[in-house]
Chains A and B, each alone.
Chain A
């Protein structure tokens, strides 16, 4: 069985698109082949800056012959029906067979499809793949109409065989497939003829191309860490940068250089960000001081001077960049030190936050007021919380953050300290955006928590007020993230915070609270708590107090996992059903007046006794918000309830007895519903 080798050779493919493109190539080609009956045993996909490669092993020589039998109309059916059948099956009338069926004679069409040679199928599938490739962004070039991520130059498509490779006959928009590729653009220019995957990979390596992105990334990381280690230093790990850099080179050559002394005092975040964003350099750190002292760059070639020219050029560029950074840093420090950041705070009045929600200064004023209000509930000093909020956004107009927006907050901390604010306030400035994602660290310092909560609640209530809510996949203002941030802040700090108090308009409040509840469900689902358990707790009073809500939900989820819990739930449901039916039928509510003196059986009396004993315990536990204890007490009711239903006919003939029993059931219902709305639990 032959193999198949495909390479699409183009001008430089953006690094961020390469991995996905290699997978898409594999997916589309293999799907197409398999659909056409051409199976294979193994597939490998690779990408470099200039090529996407797919290598298949064990591809069938040709697709198997197939025979399909289709049952048609009865013999003697109207011509129209028969003609329709012939069209659908693609056969002529004389080719139909007549066979006996249960209901008489029936036409059968036997459709033979001869297998086709692999080359023919591959050509079709590859052309379709190229023409419909799902690039995130594609383009045309020259006078052609084909779209590709950048101009496509060559198609290599061969079926390697023992007696030499068969070139698949294929031409797409003037590009004819062949068995030729090219090596490294600078180190080994020129055409390379290949006969199969092993030959291809080996020849490419000789032509200074490492085909496998993993191999390039590993080589880069190994060389970088060894080089740093030899100098007594360590590379700052950056997975994203590593895979990007591996996508920028075909022949990685790692070079390490020193950062100019003059810039070593810049904050490490500035050095790292500037080097990563502008130059795609790794940062190299002194493990003893934590200071970043060197950089690592990855060139795409070897040179006669062992990279000396390249390294000195990179160093010059870095110095020019860092000169800018140092200039911003010094200017910013001056504003922080001499003017206590006031010019920035004033300038926020000129920065629009959102056309309908005013400027950043308006927003800061709202956040400051809210942070002050929240402070007591989170154990923060109200003055500190308000002060931190007032300066939290100031760094947005600093020169450094203008240049590197991702340093917002981080720079604010430096500037706040420089302006003489306390560490707690400076930390709150740095942390008030957090948590940004589901795995981002949640602030715990009280001032940070107050400002972070205020920032997010203001954002949510603001966008709710102007009716800019997330819809479907659209969430341009990251409101889902903000809500999740509030949830995580509240839960991980165990805060008792009735959220509704901070929502302005009652009309929006319930909608916004529902939004919070939706996010909470998603959050708890990851914890393994079922949505119906959460619904049962959401239906209870105080559901804007997320800590209480989650405590209840966790206790209920745990309870329902026990035998007692599951059986009690069934007992409750039975009681509730009987009651509901009786209430509907009688048009009254049975909720009061059950009296043990009308009890006729021991089981009834036992249930009365159990309810009398556990009722106060449950109430006390609920008062103490000890849901675990409340449910433990509920569990004590399980046996008497089961016994009651076993022995007692609720709908007794005697009305007094029946009413009494219904009222007794209502005691069960009320006790249970005080704990959680069990009617919402499924199953």
Chain B
């Protein structure tokens, strides 16, 4: 790959690199999530004995990070590129460094470092050990060996890589203002910057997230998602219609994702106190745990029929 010229070149380069490395290149999950890890291709597939290998871009939302499109490096909607391989291959670090070369980082000129950073997601009941990867003092990725997800020990262990695409692209392309960074090649008939694509939406969402979203409705959505998740999982495994063993882990997990996002919205609206915060996180964790338990009862989760 030649030197990337724009944001999408970085995405395309990562996709083709990891496709070449043997990953199934998936598409984003069609729900609002706070990070690429929430994609069932990571959270659920990290569970159980079945081998797995996937890479995908995941649009992610963090309502509290909204700056009305005015910040050069913070958006409430942003992209992560996620790679997950189970079991983690012995040369995962080398593979990762190859991906940096693929997006134009010359490791002969730059200083790449693996700096201790243990990862934990209280809402997913998950943790792992690994590093944040530094390029010339800048964090360009998270590198994690999953040890536990949904309260279950991971065996085998998945290796997970997360690239924060905006920051990485800004660095590689040499932009201090992310909104000014080209999204498509600057010599395109209609060149677009990152700001052209997202700035307007950022302002709209920031206003809605911070001031307009109806908290009563959101609180109800949270309760509804919580109840539906539990109801789905309470259904017997044997489907009376088809007579098959169908544990509905993923539809239930969708509800957990929904609850998690609604919680983030409530947080941005400022209606969750410090003490309540912990309680909400605990409730979401309880949901993801139940979903993880259920996934292990499915064939994909290694359950023998």
Binding site for B on A (CB under 8 A): 11-12, 14-16, 49, 137-143, 149-151, 153, 186, 248-249, 279-281, 297, 299-301, 303-305, 309-310, 312-314, 316-320, 350-352, 355
Contacts and interface: CB of A to CB of B under 8 A. Distances in A.
B204 interface: no
B109 A320 contact: no
B32 to A, nearest CB: 26
Given A139-B128, A142-B156, A151-B145, A314 B114 contact: no
23 contacts: A14-B116, A15-B115, A140-B145, A143-B157, A150-B145, A153-B90, A248-B115, A297-B137, A299-B111, A300-B113, A301-B111, A303-B110, A309-B109, A309-B136, A313-B136, A313-B138, A314-B137, A316-B138, A317-B137, A318-B137, A319-B176, A320-B73, A355-B275
B184 interface: no
Nearest to B275: A352
B190 interface: no
| Of listed B114, B116, B129, B147, residue having the most chain A CB within 10 A | B116
Nearest to A350: B273
A181 B277 CA distance: 49
Given A314-B136, A316-B176, A352-B274, A305 B156 contact: no
The 3 closest A-B pairs by CB, nearest first: A313-B136, A14-B116, A12-B114
B106 to A, nearest CB: 8
Contacts of B113: 248-249, 300
Interface string B123-136: 00000111100011
A463 to B, nearest CB: 18
Contact of B137 (A14, A305, A313): A313
A141 B73 contact: no
Nearest to A50: B114
B136 A303 contact: no
A302 to B, nearest CB: 10
Nearest to A189: B94
Main secondary structure of the interface of A (DSSP, over half): loop
Contacts of B135: 313
Contacts of B114: 11-12, 49
A186 B108 contact: yes
Contacts of B208: none
Contacts of A310: 109-111, 136
A317 B171 CA distance: 9
A150 B275 contact: no
B88 interface: yes
B109 A303 contact: yes
B185 interface: no
A143 B273 contact: no
B116 A15 contact: yes
A139 B273 CA distance: 35
Nearest to B270: A350
A355 B277 CA distance: 13
A246 to B, nearest CB: 13
A143 B154 CA distance: 10
B122 interface: no
Interface in B48-90: 73, 87-90
B112 interface: yes
Contacts of B88: 141-142, 151
B93 interface: yes
A171 to B, nearest CB: 16
Contacts of A317: 136-138
A83 B138 CA distance: 71
Contacts of B159: 141
